[in-house]
Amino acid sequence: MSNFPRIAITPGEPSGIGPDLVLKIAQQDWPATIIVLADKDMLQDRATLLGLPIKLKEFSDEGEPQKHTPGELFIIHHALAEATEVGVLNEKNGRYVVDTLTTASAGNMAGTFDAICTGPVHKGIINQAGVPFSGHTEFFANHSNTSDVVMLLATEGLRVALVTTHIPLAYVAKAITPERITKVATILYQDLQVKFGIDKPKILVCGLNPHAGEGGHLGKEEIEIIEPVLAQLNAEGMDFVGPLPADTLFQPKYLDSADAVLAMYHDQGLPVLKYKGFGNAVNITLGLPYIRTSVDHGTALDLAGTGTANTGSMEVAIAHAIKMAIENKAKR
Ligand SMILES: NC(=O)c1ccc[n+]([C@@H]2O[C@H](COP(=O)([O-])OP(=O)(O)OC[C@H]3O[C@@H](n4cnc5c(N)ncnc54)[C@H](O)[C@@H]3O)[C@@H](O)[C@H]2O)c1
Ligand SMILES: N[C@H](C(=O)O)[C@H](O)COP(=O)(O)O
């Protein structure tokens, strides 16, 4: 039996850099079958603009998965509503983007694909198209009927997971509940063991308030919510340290002996991660019934079609998806 996994790639927003990245990585050697879910004319036009050779072949799930051939891509055609103008968002194509994600999720649940790797979408234009959408993480959780998933971004020397993801800052404190922290922390701990092979993970946990609440004088969530949850998880044999002041925990003194940081909200953890590794980090959704990785950046409309978009994060995202898919196959 072939050991090459099938990786479904969604280029995301068609007017952004996603198609450029997919066409660039298609020129490389990958130990997997790569299937792109996109509009074939849009991809062909972008390849011409970038001067990249590409042969698009219709995907069929019959036969054994083959190793990727540089310069070729399998495709499942999804038609755009309107032709794309490079670098210019068009809300008429918002639903197209979501349709590609739906195919990716359904194909993974059916076992046709072994993993999904997503390019960047533009959340705003999808909402403008009339489709409520806060991010891939929430979309895939919803589509796969999974109640709790965790967003983890990882780069060399740092992994950051989030208790809350794409919600307004005004809602964050209310969303920091014992139930949510317990679920996120448990998924993170178990996936560090299973997916990352860390026997006994040590996880640093940020407080929510400045200086982790300053003993209750700058907020009480640390004392009333976070500390009791961590005490309970540690009593069950896990190893969580905190809540620690978020402004000072990101230093080698603490990070060198830790396997991950659990941040309370998006812009508490991700700016640090992206300062360290923007362009070379991977976004992994933990807790889904399938493997999903993504890039660490957005649609970069200013670079679309120029050929200057950096493929580093897309390469790391695909490499992680392939590695995890091969490990999954070996377990079956
Ligand atoms: N994975 C995703 O789907 C994802 C991730 C982050 C942001 N977004 C979305 O992207 C849209 C634009 O967000 P933004 O402007 O804050 O972030 P952005 O990442 O698109 O751009 C920020 C800056 O980084 C540069 N940049 C981004 N990717 C690059 C690459 N591969 N190579 C070189 N330079 C690169 C851009 O040119 C820009 O200067 C938003 O709608 C946001 O929600 C999507
Ligand atoms: N929060 C992610 C980041 O900043 O990189 C990004 O918005 C993508 O999230 P999804 O994978 O949920 O779309």
What local confidence, expressed as pLDDT, does residue 214 receive?
Answer: 98
Q: How far apart are CA 242 and CA 203, in angstroms?
A: 9
How far away, in angstroms, is 19 Cα from ligand 2 center? 18
Q: Which of 294, 296, 297, 314 to mutate to test the pocket of ligand 2 (most atoms within 8 A of CB)?
A: 294
Question: Edge-to-edge, what's the strand order for the sheet holding 72-77?
Answer: 55-58, 72-77, 33-38, 6-10, 115-118, 292-294, 282-286, 150-155, 158-162, 260-263, 203-206, 240-244
Spatial CA neighbour of 255 closest among 295, 296, 206, 214: 206
Q: How far is the CA of 90 from the centre of ligand 1 (A)?
A: 17
Nearest CA to ligand 1 atom 14: 298
Which tokens sit at 188? 């993170």
Contacts of 194 (CB under 8 A, 6+ apart): none
Q: How many CB atoms lie within 10 A of CB 296?
A: 23
Question: Is-contact 181 163, C-beta < 8 A?
Answer: yes
User: Would you put residue 273 in left (φ > 0), alpha (ψ -120 to 50) or beta?
Assistant: alpha
ipTM: 0.99
- In angstroms, rounded to a whole number, what is the distance separating the alpha carbons of residues 237 and 255? 21
Q: What is the pLDDT along the chain (332 residues), one digit of tens a residue?
A: 678 999 999 999 999 999 999 999 999 999 999 999 999 999 999 999 999 999 999 999 998 899 999 999 999 999 999 999 999 999 999 999 999 999 999 999 999 999 999 999 999 999 999 999 999 999 999 999 999 999 999 999 999 999 999 999 999 999 999 999 999 999 999 999 999 999 999 999 999 999 999 999 999 999 999 999 999 999 999 999 999 999 999 999 999 999 999 999 999 999 999 999 999 999 999 999 999 999 999 999 999 999 999 999 999 999 999 999 999 888 87
Atom index in ligand 2 nearest the CA of residue 123 equals: 13
Crossing angle of helices 178-194 and 227-235, rounded to 10°: 40
Ligand 1 binding residues, C-beta < 6 A? 12, 17, 120-124, 136, 279, 294-295, 297-300, 302-303, 309-310
Best CA proximity match to 71, nearest among 42, 100, 51: 51
Residue nearest to atom 11 of ligand 1 (CA): 298
3-state secondary structure of 128: helix
Domains in the chain and their CATH numbers? 6-146+288-331 (3.40.718.10), 150-274 (3.40.718.10)
Q: Which residues pair with 10 in a beta bridge?
A: 118
CA of 138 from ligand 2 middle (Å) equals 10
Q: How far apart are the first and last CA of the chain?
A: 12
Q: Which ligand is nearest to the CA of 152?
A: 2
CA of 107 to the centre of ligand 2 (A): 22
